[in-house]
Amino acid sequence: MSDGAAPKFNQPLGGNDMPRFGGVPTMMRLPSQDTAEGLDACFVGIPMDIGTSNRTGTRHGPRAIRAESGMMRPYNMATGAGPFAKMQVADIGDVAINTFDLKKTVDIITAAYDEILKHDVVPLTLGGDHTLSYPVLRAIAKKHGPVALIHVDAHADTNDLMFGEKIAHGTPFRRAVEDGLLQNDKVFQIGLRGTGYEPGDFDWGRQQGFTVIPAEECWHKSLAPLMQDIRARIGDTPCYLTYDIDSLDPSIAPGTGTMEIGGLTTIQALEIVRGCKGLNLVGGDLVEVSPQYDTTGATAMLGANLLYEMLCVLPKTWA
């Protein structure tokens, strides 16, 4: 600050104060604290992969995302957002899941977010496999009621069963519908693609009222007009944003468990997240980063940047 006073809000640790490769690896090298008390937004990790059906490894996703976030700086040069000038933000660590019991883990996550949401805070989650969105949404809906949903993914994640189980990373949004957590006519699934078991694999959501935008409808075009339409349709309804990194093409985001060809570009990813500016975002997550398949760290780096972009469009950043 020009008058020499101490900053009002937490700031990421600068590269001239500690080398980017040094220090404690919190998200964006922010201060850490044990709870969400006093925060406007928080980063929280859910290091789990016990809901995955193919390649494991997303339990290491939060740590990898935090490590790759060390190069990021506080101001968004493209959008003008300066979230750390407007909000108190910290990394509140990880949810202590039960890595041997998925059903118990789901309840542990909901209980943890019930505690987080006792405060007037927007949680941004570092995943972890996509199962986690269901228990997080259970807590979100307790506070905000049924929410609008922007779901960016290669997969619909609306299976009824996986290997006879109701809870897995391919089922969270069917469970969310069954529990009344969503405003179905304000659910948007972007980027779905790949092979299926039958022609109507993506139709279950449509039958519930979802708007489904397959990847093929996104090819070779800007998604800014799509997001303008989505904003108009959601209005001021509380909205949750869930971003599966496998929505991106595997040529740019190989570090994930269930890749599909023909995916979104990083530019389209930015258009989607930046296009959420003006929505009443009450939470978000970035899931399915598996760092052992990510030899350059690029996938975790993309995940870190998209989480930062989510922070940059939260309502208090522009208040």
Q: In one letter, which amino acid is 61?
A: G
**Rounded to 5°, angle at Cα 155 from 154 and 159:** 180
What integer pLDDT is reported at residue 1 of this predicted model? 40
SS3 151: strand
In angstroms, the CA 188 to CA 149 distance is 6
Contact criterion met (CB below 8 Å) for 38 and 119: yes
What lies within 8 Å, CB to CB, of 150 at 6+ separation is 188, 190, 230, 239, 240, 241, 242, 272, 276
Distances (CA, A) of 271 to 143, 246, 302: 28, 16, 14
CA geometry: angle 147, 121, 227, nearest 5 deg: 45
Spatial neighbors of 211 by CB under 8 A, at least 6 apart, are 187, 188, 189, 233
Q: At what angle do helices 266-274 and 224-234 cross, to 10 degrees?
A: 30
pTM of the model: 0.96
Six-digit token string for 161: 């069963």
pLDDT of residue 7: 62
What is the chain's pLDDT, residue by residue, as a tens digit (319 residues)? 445 565 689 999 999 999 999 999 999 999 999 999 999 999 999 999 999 999 999 999 999 999 999 999 999 999 999 999 999 999 999 999 999 999 999 999 999 999 999 999 999 999 999 999 999 999 999 999 999 999 999 999 999 999 999 999 999 999 999 999 999 999 999 999 999 999 999 999 999 999 999 999 999 999 999 999 999 999 999 999 999 999 999 999 999 999 999 999 999 999 999 999 999 999 999 999 999 999 999 999 999 999 999 999 999 999 9
CB 43 within 8 A of CB 89: yes
Supply the pLDDT for residue 2.
Answer: 45
